[in-house]
Structure formats: C-alpha cells, structure tokens
Chains A and B, each alone.
Chain A
Amino acid sequence: MAETVQAAARPMDTGRLWVLPPLLVLAGLFFYPLSLIASQALTGDAGPASFAHFAEVFRSQLFLGALWHTVEIAVAASAGCLVLGFAVALVIAFVPFPGAREVARAIDTFIALPTFLAALAFTFIYGSAGVVNGALIDLFHLETPPVDFLYSPWGVILAEVTVYTPFVLRPLLAAFSLIDIAQIEVASSLGARAPRIIREIILPAALPALLAGGSLCLLLTVNEFGIVLFIGAKGVITLPLLVYDKAIQEFDYTAACVIAIINVALSLSLYMLYRTTIARFGGRNAGVV
C-alpha cells in the first residue's frame, strides 16, 4: 500500500515540473522587466526607495490630463463599441440577409489587422485635407475645413470604435445563436413589436455578452497606443503615449516608469474586472480570453 501511494505520488510530482520552462520564460522576459520598471519608479536612477517620484508625477498637469483623456476615451469608445456591435449583431442574427455570415466573418478579420490602420484611414477621410472636408469646401465654398473632430478626443474614440467593435460582435453573435427562435416568433404572433422583443427577450440574453465584450473593450482601449500616436492630435495624450514621450522623446526614464506602473495597475484592474465578468456570466467558457 505504501509502495502504491509512493508510485502514484511520484509521476504527479514529476509531471508538475513540466510547467517550469514556460514559467521561467515568462518570469525572465516579462515579470523581471516589469519589476525593474517598478524598481526604477521607486528609486529613480540611484536613490533610495521612496514615493517621491510618484508624488511628482501626480502633481503634473500633463499626467493628470493624460489620465483623464485615457479614461474618457476608453469609456466613450467602449460605449460606442457596445452600441455599434449590438446594432450590427441584431441585424445579422435576426434580420438575416444573404451573405450575413460572410459579413460577420469579414468584420472579425479586423481583429487581425493593426489598429493604426483606422487612424491612417481617418486622416484620409476626415483630416484637414481629407475627402469629407474637400467635399464640404467645394459644396459650400468654404475657406477653412469645417470638420475638425479628428484632432480632438473624438477622432481617437471613433477610430477605436472601428477597431474594437468586433470584440463585442463575436460574443453577441454567439449569445444570439443560443436564443430560441420560437420565443421571438411567439412574441411576434402575439402582437409584440420589434422594440419590445429587443427589450424583453434579446437584451436579457445579450447581457452577459455585452458585459464581457464591454469590459474587454475597456481594457483594450485603455491600452491603445497606435491610434493615438498616428492621429497625433496635440492635446490628446493618453497614458501609453505619455510613457512613449517621456522615455523616447525626453529620455526621462524615471517619469516614464512611474506612469507605466500606473498604467499597468489600471490595466490589470480592468483585466481582473474582465475575468470576473467572464467567470460570473461566461459559463463553460469562463476564463478563456
């Protein structure tokens, strides 16, 4: 019996060691660099550990502005993704047309494309010398470009809605595929109109997917960098862009590390929110990004 217990225990213990190699890769290439960021944020280049550098950054108007812009843009973009995603998912799932599945798949492909693509496209469409302004100037004989939202937070927000809506669309379509069509047809035959069916049948079923998609969009938009960099609007600075500016443009690594730590803390908090949402509402797929 003792031999049996030992024999059973040994492979189990040995088998668990297999997790060490990938864990070491992760520790050495990811957690070690992150720990050095935290270290530099606390000590500067050579000083004793203290929160002086954090205090200095928190007093900076540039940082407070970047923090506000980051949150403002992320919340607005996530809301936009939810609205657009819900609208498109409704039509694809419940007002089907030939090729609906192909359209959904094509939109999904945007997940595989770089985010700055939207920013570059927007400069051609909505920029000072873009198509929209060109058309409006011609049409109304204007002297200056009337459309200028691209160079405000709204430009970034709209670009991010373009980029991140697929992350709402996919879970929504999955949720809608589970809705019993008979429920909707019975409701229709009993006289309920579309708005009521949406409110009482479809929205409750969509809620878990909206929460999961929304929290994921919040995380992704807080971390977004390429769009903000490419649009390059003065006065629209987010935390990731501020890290880049401090480190690469100004060589102020200590400030960059402080801001990066704050950014990472914000992102990890949102990630835990996302994991919690998935675990609570996600059922069998809980925990799978």
Chain B
Amino acid sequence: MLVWSKSGRWFAWGVAAALIGMVYVAPLAVILAASFAGQWNDVLPSQPTVEHYLEAVTGASGEALWTSIVTGFVASALALLTGTWAALALRQFSGVPRRLLDLLFFVPSAVPSVSVGLGLLVAFSRPPILLNGTSTIVFVAHLILVSAFTYGNVSAGLARLSPDLEQVAESLGARPFYRLRHVTLPLLMPHLIAAFSLSFALSMGELGATVMIYPPGWVTLPVNIFALTDRGDVFEGAALTMLLILTTLAVLIGLSRIPTKAAPR
C-alpha cells in the first residue's frame, strides 16, 4: 500500500527486521545463551553447561521461584476479587462521582512501586498493624500494585457488555445475585482471565516495592536475580531470568486456552 516498488518494500522490511532483531530478539537470545554458558569472554559463550539451571531449581533460587509463583497467584486472585467488585460496584454511579472513583481505583498504577513499598514499610512497622518482616507485607504490596490493572481490564470488559441480557434476566424474575452468578460473570469471563493473566505477569516481574519490604524468608525471583547479578553471579541470574520468563509465559498461555462460553466480539 505505502511502498510499491519491490526494492522499497524489502528495504522497509530490512529496517524493521534490524530494529526488531536488535531491540527484541537479541536481548532474549543473549540471556538464553548466558543461561547455558560456563564462560563468556569472547563474542560467543563457551563451556556449555546446565549447571546454572540445576542451581536455579534447587536451594535458595528454587525457593524464590516457588515464592514468586505463590505470591503471583494469591495476589492476582485477591486483586481479581477487589478489582471485579469495584468495577461492578461502580456501575451504580454516574457523572462526577463515578469519574472520581474510577480515578481512585486507577491511581495505584501511576505511583512509583518503590514509593508504594516505602509506604507499606512505614505504615506496617508501627501499631496498630505490624506486618514488617512478614510475608504478608509482600502479598499486600503485590495486591495493591496489580489491582489497578484487574480493575481496568474488568471495567473495560463491562463497558463492552450490552445490558440486554441482564435486563431480560431481570424481567424474567432473576434476583440480583442470580443475575450476577449466571449472566454477568460468565459474560465477563474472558476479561477476568485476561485480568488475572496480566496481574500474574506483573507480579512475577515486580521488583521496586518488593526489594523495599521483603523478609529474609520470602525472597521473590526478581529480588533473588538482582542479588545474584549484583555479586557477579550473572549466569545463574540469567538462568533464573529464563525460568521467570518461561513460568510467566506458561501461565499466560495456559490461561488463554481456558474455554469460555462468551465469545469475544
């Protein structure tokens, strides 16, 4: 359409391929290569090994993987609950109050995660509630940080739902809770799954708040990866990063395959 000559098209493709290759393919490729490298002193790594992966799934690193998965699932589930609840509740509002509440629920996504971590550290290091030094404070941080995204996804999904089906159900005598359980939530299912997926991915990669508040017994993958690379253990850091990527993608792909009755429009 834009470029008619064959040479022009190949030039455009070449530029795009170079940009995409340099910006996106190369980073993943070098981390993958490093995760199998015994040494890397030249252009190419040498002494291939799976030692880093063995270290990555045992000991402290294995615990970090488990910690991140548990934190991701729990925080995402709780965020899905609060986000969906908020999105549904806001349907009762309109005009300025609705816009103000909408803004409030989105604000956590706009605030630096490090400042969220600092806030939790300050707030829960003193009475009435003491959470500093416990794993609970990590769950709270992740819940807060991903909740805006669950709210956003579900809110967008609700905006696209036609009210017809709910109104028909109401006119046929269905009570509010019945309508919610059998009409609204099934229709929302694709958006709930998308919201959970994104929340899980964001939680898996969260570093800013967690590095401020994590207790010694609840170290997540990103924090552990940073600790490893900071003391020069870059190859095990690379292996852990690959495991983080694979875990995140596995969950995303797995969730995207859940069949739902509501067909996407």
A positions within 8 Å CB-CB of B = 12, 15-16, 18-19, 21-23, 25-26, 29-30, 32-34, 36-37, 40, 84, 87-88, 90-92, 94-97, 103, 106-107, 109-118, 120-125, 129, 131, 134-135, 138, 161-162, 165, 181, 184-185, 188, 194, 197-198, 202, 219, 222-223, 225-226, 229-230, 232, 239-241, 243-244, 247-248, 253, 256-257, 260, 263-264, 267-268, 270-271, 274-275, 285, 287-289
Contact = CB atoms under 8 A, between A and B. Distances in A.
A18 B1 contact: no
Interface stretch (B55-63, B85-93, B182-190): B85-93
A267 B147 contact: no
A151 B209 CA distance: 24
15 contacts: A16-B89, A18-B89, A110-B24, A112-B197, A117-B241, A120-B225, A184-B1, A244-B208, A257-B122, A260-B114, A267-B112, A268-B111, A285-B156, A287-B102, A288-B155
Contacts of A87: 15-16, 19
Given A123-B234, A288-B155, A288-B156, A229 B207 contact: yes
A117 B30 contact: no
B23 interface: yes
Contacts of A241: 114
Main SS of chain B's interface residues?
helix
B219 interface: no
A32 B54 CA distance: 43
A219 B12 CA distance: 31
Given A91-B13, A243-B114, A30 B108 contact: yes
B205 A115 contact: yes
B2 interface: yes
A202 B1 CA distance: 12
Nearest to B99: A287
Contacts of A95: 1-3, 9, 12-13, 16
Nearest to A97: B13
B146 interface: no
Nearest to B198: A112
Nearest to A20: B89
B243 interface: no
B248 interface: yes
Contacts of B99: 287
Interface string B165-196: 00000000000000000000000000000000
B229 A120 contact: yes
Nearest to B148: A289
Interface of B: 1-4, 8-9, 12-13, 15-16, 19-20, 23-24, 26-28, 30-31, 33-34, 40-44, 82-83, 85-86, 88-90, 92-93, 99, 101-116, 118-124, 140, 143-144, 147-149, 152, 155-156, 159, 197-198, 201-202, 204-208, 211-212, 222, 225-226, 229-230, 234, 237-238, 241, 244-245, 248-249, 252
A240 B208 contact: yes
B103 A88 contact: no
B16 A88 contact: yes
Contacts of B31: 117, 120-121, 124
A91 B16 contact: yes
A120 B144 contact: no
Given A162-B27, A287-B99, A114 B104 contact: no
A57 B79 CA distance: 36
Contact of B111 (A34, A118, A181): A34
B118 A226 contact: no
Contacts of A165: 23
A15 B120 CA distance: 32
Contacts of A94: 1-3
The 10 closest A-B pairs by CB, nearest first: A114-B205, A33-B119, A121-B27, A271-B110, A112-B201, A19-B89, A22-B86, A94-B2, A33-B123, A91-B16
A243 B122 CA distance: 13
A21 B108 CA distance: 17
Contacts of B115: 34, 37, 240, 243, 260, 263-264
Contacts of A202: 2
Contact of B118 (A90, A114, A131, A257): A257
Contacts of A125: 26-27, 30
Given A16-B92, A181-B1, A288 B27 contact: no
Contacts of B148: 289
Nearest to B97: A16
Given A22-B89, A95-B2, A260 B119 contact: yes
Contacts of B1: 94-96, 181, 184-185, 188
Contacts of B93: 16, 19
B19 A84 contact: yes
Contact of B226 (A22, A107, A188, A230): A230
Contacts of B30: 121, 124-125, 131
Give the most central of A120, A223, A240: most B CB within 10 Å.
Answer: A120
Given A88-B20, A184-B2, A244 B114 contact: yes
